[in-house]
Amino acid sequence: MANTFTNVNDTKIMSDGIEALKLGLTPLNIFSIDVGSNPTSVEQNAVVRVPLASAREGIAYNATYEDGNTAIVTQAVNVNTHVHCSWHVTEEQAAGSPVNLFDMAAKEAGYGLALTIQNTVLNIITDANYGNTANTDERVVTAANFDIDEISDIRQICTKTLKWREQAPGQLGNAIMDGAYIANLLKDPALRDRSASGKDALITGAVGRINQFDFYENNQVAVSTPGSGAENMVGFFCQKAAVALAVRPMSVLGSGYGFESIVTDPETGASMSYRRWQDLSTGTIWGTFTVMMGAGVGDEARMLRIISS
């Protein structure tokens, strides 16, 4: 059989894959993320110190400016989790289709890697790490009651009890919620009525920013994390300092692969490793996107978990 893999475009594969990774990681921009630079690869169990945007307070001037809370707050994160998303195409599949199936699958693999990273981060958002004091660390809300009024009440908890401040003009924090909660919010007349809200939620299906919170829908938060079990977590409101996340590409090995490289998104700096090889016994060609990552608990006072009961 003729070689059906001579037209593999590794440059396009890396470009499509890193774009999908960036899109899939968008919800994680609500946390403090360190992606290294240039890019920086790490070995397993390396410790990365992630800067946190912690709250500060001014003090009265007393003869010097070299006084007060001047320490740079960081969170040590153990980069100990190796995650990847692989795909393959057999010679028979490639020969039977005019479409470059290997290239086509790369984008889905990039997005799949992002989802795996998301789930790994969500695993640490539990009451053991962030507390379970009613209307302080957590809030009980059913999907049917999740509306504009409820978000207003949550905002008051964040500003009064947790003492959150604006992170940017008009932006207090972020919210990741299960789809059932977003669906009920989209039914709220206060949001659907464009004359009242000024939003196109009925057209776009996107909630956007409400009461200074930017909303993200994530249907994994309530089904695949420890907090979604006995704790019934369905989402959370947070500020960036709540979670420290480090993501790094794997070091290039330099042998044993048909192609190997590190690809970096120029906009976000996020990087991942791409490796391609062929199983000579079967003719199947394989590809994988892979990173090393770690997530750590940041400032517990910057997290409000939402539970269903």
Cis peptide before 249 (omega within 30 of 0): no
**CA dihedral sign of residues 119, 129, 28, 141:** positive
Residue type, 197: S
**What's the pLDDT score for residue 267?**
83
| pLDDT tens, residue by residue, 206-256 | 678 899 999 999 888 887 666 656 789 999 999 999 999 999 898 877 767
- Token output for 292: 């090393």
State the Cα–Cα distance between residues 134 and 54, nearest whole angstrom: 24
Q: At residue 197, does pLDDT exceed 70?
A: no
**CA dihedral sign of residues 196, 202, 203, 204:** positive
**What's the pLDDT score for residue 1?**
37
Quick check: 43 and 251 in contact, CB under 8 A? Answer: yes
* Residue 30 CB neighbours (<10 A): 21
**What's the pLDDT score for residue 3?**
46
**What's the pLDDT score for residue 70?**
57
Give me the mean pLDDT over the 177-184 stretch.
93
What pTM does this model have? 0.82
Quick check: 306 and 237 in contact, CB under 8 A? Answer: yes
**Residues 243-278: b if buried by 16+ CB within 10 A, e if exposed:** bbbbbbbbeeeeeebeebebbbbeeebbbbbbbbbb
All CATH 3.30.2400.20 domain ranges in the chain, comma separated: 10-51+73-124+244-297
**What's the pLDDT score for residue 261?**
92
State the Cα–Cα distance between residues 107 and 112, nearest whole angstrom: 9
State the Cα–Cα distance between residues 167 and 192, nearest whole angstrom: 27
| pLDDT tens, residue by residue, 35-63 | 876 666 766 667 777 877 666 666 677 77
Residue type, 104: M
State the Cα–Cα distance between residues 22 and 4, nearest whole angstrom: 30
Nearest to 153 by CA among 129, 136, 133, 171: 136
| DSSP annotation string for 205-235 | ----EETTEEEEE-TTTTTSSGGGTTT-EEE
Which phi-psi region, left, alpha or beta, contains residue 150 (left: φ > 0; alpha: ψ -120 to 50)?
Answer: alpha
> For the domain bounded by 10-51+73-124+244-297, which CATH number is listed?
3.30.2400.20
Q: At residue 98, does pLDDT exceed 60?
A: no
Give me the mean pLDDT over the 259-279 stretch.
90
